[in-house]
Amino acid sequence: MSRSAASALGEIIRRQREMAELSMRQFAELAGISNPYLSQIERGLRAPSEQVLDGIARALKLSAEALYEQAGMTPPGEEPPDTAVLEAIASDPQLSGRQRTALREVYEAFVASGPSARRRAG
C-alpha cells in the first residue's frame, strides 16, 4: 500500500471514528489494537494489515471493502479495474460526449455482469 493510500485510508478511519463519537482509546480497544498503532494508522504512517482492517471495520460496523472503497482503493485479492478501454473511449476524437457516456455505461454494465464479477459474487 502506498503512503498516499495509507494516508487516505487513515483519514477515512479517523473521520468514521469521530462520527461514532469514540475516543481513540475506546476505538482501539473495540478494534483490538493498541492506541499508538491506531494513531499511526490514522496519520497514515502505517498501513493496517487485512486482519487489523477487519477489526477496525467491525468496530465501525462497516465492511473492510467499504473502507477501501471510501479511500478509493481496490481491496486486496480483487483485481484493479482495467482502465484501458475507458481511457480509449474517453480519448477517441470521433465520439461525441453522449456517445462516450453511452459506451462507458454499456462497457461498465458488461464488466459488472461478466464471468469475473460472478466469480467474486459467488
* Higher-pLDDT residue of 58, 116: 58
* Model pTM above 0.85: no
Q: Contact at 8 Å (CB) between 54 and 67? A: no
pLDDT surpassing 70 at residue 68? yes
Q: pLDDT at residue 119 above 70? A: no
Q: What is the pLDDT of residue 15?
A: 93
Contact between 63 and 56 under an 8 Å Cβ cutoff? The reply is no
Lowest mean pLDDT among 25-29, 30-34, 45-49, 112-116: 112-116
Mean pLDDT, to the nearest integer, of 95-106? Answer: 90
